[in-house]
């Protein structure tokens, strides 16, 4: 399970929202200083 899916599941369980969207923006940071393969996801 990807980080975005895990976070979304936890938010749904805790808050029971009518709608929720978790967007993984990690690919936008590839190649930036400090970005490394396997590092934390960048989520919105």
pLDDT tens-digit series, residues 1-44: 688 899 999 999 999 999 999 988 877 767 766 666 665 666 66
Closest CA to 26 of 37, 42, 39: 42
Question: pTM to 2 decimals?
Answer: 0.64
Question: What pLDDT does 1 receive?
Answer: 65
What distance in Å separates the CA atoms of residue 40 and residue 36, rounded to the nearest whole number?
A: 9
Mapped onto helix, strand or coil, the DSSP state of residue 29 is helix
* Per-residue pLDDT, 34: 62
Kind and range of the H or E element at 10?
Answer: helix 3-15
Instruction: State residue 9's pLDDT score.
Output: 96
């Amino acid at each position: 399970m990807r980080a975005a899916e895990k976070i979304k599941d936890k938010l749904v369980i805790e808050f029971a929202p009518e709608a929720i969207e978790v967007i993984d923006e990690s690919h936008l940071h590839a190649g930036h200083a400090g970005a490394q393969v396997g590092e934390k996801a960048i989520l919105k």
